[in-house]
């Protein structure tokens, strides 16, 4: 079975073609260069950029997969279309879903609407086969969740953030430190030259498996203000001018270390509650973080039942369409029926279920 998958939930326009679980092509056009100048995504600009990019990206995916006939995209070689339908930016999702449903109607292909967080989780199946039951730590720009899965189709959210997502926190702390957008990779780079113990930051005391990251962001802000000796009313966007490169690196390292500890302490707690956990899979943009990857290995290597850890290949950690295709493939294998292209809705429940 060949699946053509589309992803446009935020600021990447992507198309991938899979033959069963193997990838024939994987095209990602990122809008990062546009949004660097603004320090963040502007939804209307993102939607318009998706509109410009989506058809060329699809053409490129056919070309890269050697699926052309007389120089045209050979739709007879495609068996199904998959698309991200939620959650994400409204205008961005609309471009992907309208394109997918139009192509499904035009070329008479079954259409599968895929949840973005399921795609992030299944990005791990592009390179491995984690066994169940598992815990998935979904850490992206919009979500921070621990999800227990007992099969390809059984998802239970056992922990979630009560406020900011961890990726959002990386992005906001990067702004305070004057590091370029997107904040996650910038913090990770600066942290490599910093001392993670230099600035002690608080770990929230939440008893259950939920997270909170807004306090950590404020704690960094207050620590920076204290370090450069300005009052709390001092404009946060001017703080970066008062910091030395060494202080920036130390704040980046201290913040990253604390954020990783918060994530892994909760994950460890979840693993104790569910001792039958066979695998732990990391998913979403923040799972690209190398400090998190090595701290995770250390955290779980000595645990009693030692679950096997999985991280997505770096090219599948951020938003891409290969993960949408593999998620759809697993859903189809589990008997999932196609979505009616005339009634594909981008706003059903946005929680994974
Ligand atoms: O999954 P993703 O690409 O998009 C969403 O679905 O949100 O995640 C984007 C988030 C951003 O907040 C970005 O700063 C963060 O992932 N991120 C990282 C790293 N690479 C991307 N955070 C920490 N370390 C990284 N290396
Ligand atoms: Zn994502």
234-248 pLDDT, tens digit per residue, is 999 999 999 999 999
**Closest atom of ligand 1 to CA, residue 143:** 7
**Distance of alpha carbon 153 from alpha carbon 310, whole angstroms:** 19
Token pair of 6, please? 């589309």
Cα(289) to centroid of ligand 1, in Å? 9
State how far the alpha carbon of 155 is from the alpha carbons of 119, 146, 159, 332, in Å.
13, 10, 12, 16
Domains of the chain, each with CATH number or no CATH: 2-122+316-333 (3.30.420.40), 131-311 (3.30.420.40)
Round the average pLDDT of the chain to a whole number and report it.
Answer: 96
Distance in Å, CA 205 to ligand 1 centroid: 25
In ligand 1, the atom with minimum distance to the C-alpha of 142 is 7
The full length of the chain comes to 353
> Which residue has its alpha carbon closest to ligand 1 atom 10?
141
Ligand 1 atom with least separation from CA of 165: 12
What's the pLDDT score for residue 106? 98
pLDDT at 351: 84
* pLDDT tens column, 199-223: 999 999 999 999 999 999 999 999 9
Token pair 């690196």 is at which residue?
249
Distance in Å, CA 235 to ligand 2 centroid:
31
pTM of the model: 0.96
- What residues pair up with 233 in beta bridges, in sequence order? none
Question: Which residues' Cβ are closer than 6 Å to ligand 1?
Answer: 10, 120, 140-142, 167-168, 170-171, 182-185, 188, 284-286, 288-289, 318-319
User: Contact 326/125 with Cβ under 8 angstroms?
Assistant: yes
């Amino acid at each position: 079975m060949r699946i053509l998958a589309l992803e446009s939930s935020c600021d990447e326009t992507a198309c991938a073609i899979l033959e069963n679980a193997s990838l024939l092509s994987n095209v990602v056009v990122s809008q990062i260069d546009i949004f660097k100048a603004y320090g963040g995504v502007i939804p209307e600009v993102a939607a318009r950029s998706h509109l410009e990019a989506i058809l060329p990206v699809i053409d490129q995916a056919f070309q890269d997969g050697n699926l052309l006939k007389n120089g045209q995209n050979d739709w007879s070689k495609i068996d199904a279309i998959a698309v991200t339908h939620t959650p994400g930016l409204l205008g961005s999702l609309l471009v992907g879903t309208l394109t997918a449903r139009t192509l499904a109607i035009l070329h008479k292909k079954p259409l599968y609407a895929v949840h973005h967080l399921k795609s992030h989780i299944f990005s791990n199946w592009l390179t491995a086969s984690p066994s169940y039951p598992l815990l998935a730590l979904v850490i992206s720009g919009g979500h921070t969740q621990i999800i227990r899965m007992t099969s390809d189709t059984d998802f239970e959210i056992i922990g979630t953030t009560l406020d900011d997502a961890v990726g959002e926190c990386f992005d906001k702390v990067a702004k305070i430190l004057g590091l370029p957008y997107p904040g996650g990779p910038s913090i990770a780079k600066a942290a490599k030259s910093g001392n993670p113990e230099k600035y002690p930051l608080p770990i929230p005391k939440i008893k259950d498996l939920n997270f909170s990251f807004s306090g950590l962001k404020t704690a960094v802000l207050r620590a920076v203000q204290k370090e450069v000796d300005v009052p709390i009313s001092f404009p946060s966007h001017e703080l970066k001018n008062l910091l030395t490169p060494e202080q920036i690196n130390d704040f980046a390292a201290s913040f990253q270390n604390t954020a990783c500890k918060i994530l892994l302490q909760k994950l460890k707690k979840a693993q104790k509650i569910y001792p039958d956990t066979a695998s732990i899979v990391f998913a979403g943009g923040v799972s690209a973080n190398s400090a998190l990857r090595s701290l995770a290995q250390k955290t779980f290597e000595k645990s009693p039942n030692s679950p096997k850890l999985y991280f997505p290949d770096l090219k599948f950690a951020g938003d891409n369409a290969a993960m949408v295709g593999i998620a759809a493939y697993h859903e189809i294998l589990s008997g999932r029926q196609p979505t009616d292209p005339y009634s594909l809705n981008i706003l059903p429940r946005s929680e994974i279920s």
